[in-house]
Structure 1
Amino acid sequence: MKMGEGVEWGLHCCLMLGWLQEKAPVPLHKLATWFDLPQEYLKKRLQPLVRAGILASMPGAKGGYLLARQPDRITLMDVVTALEGPLEAFRCAEIRQRGVSGEDARERFAVPCGIATAMSRAELAWRRELAAQTIADLMAHSPDAGSRIHHHFT
């Protein structure tokens, strides 16, 4: 599976906004400047996070972005799902059934094949791992980065 670059940008922005909670909202142009990105590009990456209730967007001259929930209430899976969608990475098309028809086919293929089962287990493990980690966990893992960001924005 390949995730889009927007997932990385989204997670980094959530981290930054977590470290800058007392300075929120953080203007889009400051986030874009920090990451050396065009504002419109970053805005498009953040909009799904706002729709998902992960970020809040405040309009106006003193507006910007902030976390809509506490960092310990935002999982990595929340961010990935908001940006990539809820679809499974592997979707079994039951190609083993091609060319087989009739009553025999229903009996032979009543149970999912081993490939579909293995892929499902792997995806479940991946999703559980991302759901078990929060933005707060990432913040705690990199306190020096938080200090640099906080210093830069003060």
Structure 2
Amino acid sequence: MKMSHAVEQSLVVLVMLALQKDDLPVKSYLLSDRLEVSESYLKKTMRKLVVAGIVQAIASKEGGFRLARPISKITLLDVYQAIEGIGSFIHSTQLADRIFLSQQSNKRIEDVQQALEVATNDVLTVFNEAEQDFKNRLQNYTIAKLLGHINVDGFDKIDWRQVHFTVN
């Protein structure tokens, strides 16, 4: 399984927004500068988070992005599915059928086909169970838990709109 960089970037953006002083919206160019990604790329990612109801886009002079719901209600699964989609990442191309069935004589093809079907079902079951375990773990981990590693009450909120960054 391969996850896009946008998932990690989204998590960082959500933490930034969670730590934003007074819940003020943060403009995309400030987020993209801090993440060192193009603004157009970040806007595409942010759009996915907006559609998923994770962040809210505020269209005004002082607008930008802010969290759409409490951090205790945003799970890693929400973020993963917003970016990667809700479908399964398990897909069989039936490669084994094409390779092994083409090599058999007509009288053996039924035996081979049956054995391939059982083996393919076994493998797909293992992968599907692993995918479900993965998604269950993501479902049980919230942004609040992630931020639990920081003493948020003792942590001064940051106004990302006022922070000036230097690129090394």
Q: Which amino acid aligns with 1:91?
A: H
1:3 alignment partner in structure 2: 3
| Structure 2, unaligned runs of 5 or more | 163-168
2:60 alignment partner in structure 1: 60
**Structure 1 pair 139/69, CA: closer, same or farther in 2 (3 Å)?**
same
- Give the Cα–Cα distance (whole angstroms) in 2 for the partners of residues 95 and 37 of structure 1: 38
- Give the Cα–Cα distance (whole angstroms) in 1 for the partners of residues 127 and 31 of structure 2: 37
Q: Which amino acid aligns with 2:136?
A: R
Cα offset, 1:29, TM superposition = 2.1
Instruction: Compute the TM-score of the two structures, normalised by the length of structure 2.
Output: 0.76
Q: Which amino acid aligns with 1:62?
A: E
Q: Does 1:137 align with 2:149?
A: no
Q: Which amino acid aligns with 2:62?
A: K
Larger Rg: 2
- Give the Cα–Cα distance (whole angstroms) in 1 for the partners of residues 2 and 19 of structure 2: 28
- Give the Cα–Cα distance (whole angstroms) in 2 for the partners of residues 62 and 151 of structure 1: 13
Query: 1:68-118 deviations in whole A, cap 9, x for unaligned?
Result: 111010110001101011121212345555539999899774896211111
2:40 alignment partner in structure 1: 40
| Structure 1, unaligned runs of 5 or more | none
1:124 alignment partner in structure 2: 132
**Structure 1 pair 116/21, CA: closer, same or farther in 2 (3 Å)?**
farther
Query: 1:113-145 deviations in whole A, cap 9, x for unaligned?
Result: 21111101111110000010011111112348x
CA RMSD of aligned residues (A): 2.8
- Give the Cα–Cα distance (whole angstroms) in 2 for the partners of residues 132 and 21 of structure 1: 27
- Give the Cα–Cα distance (whole angstroms) in 1 for the partners of residues 157 and 5 of structure 2: 21
**Structure 1 pair 60/125, CA: closer, same or farther in 2 (3 Å)?**
same
For the 8 Å contact 1:27–1:65, the answer to whether it is kept is yes
- Give the Cα–Cα distance (whole angstroms) in 2 for the partners of residues 28 and 117 of structure 1: 42
Q: Across the two proteins, how many residue pairs are aligned to each other?
A: 153
Q: Does 1:84 align with 2:84?
A: yes
**Percent of pairs identical after alignment?**
30
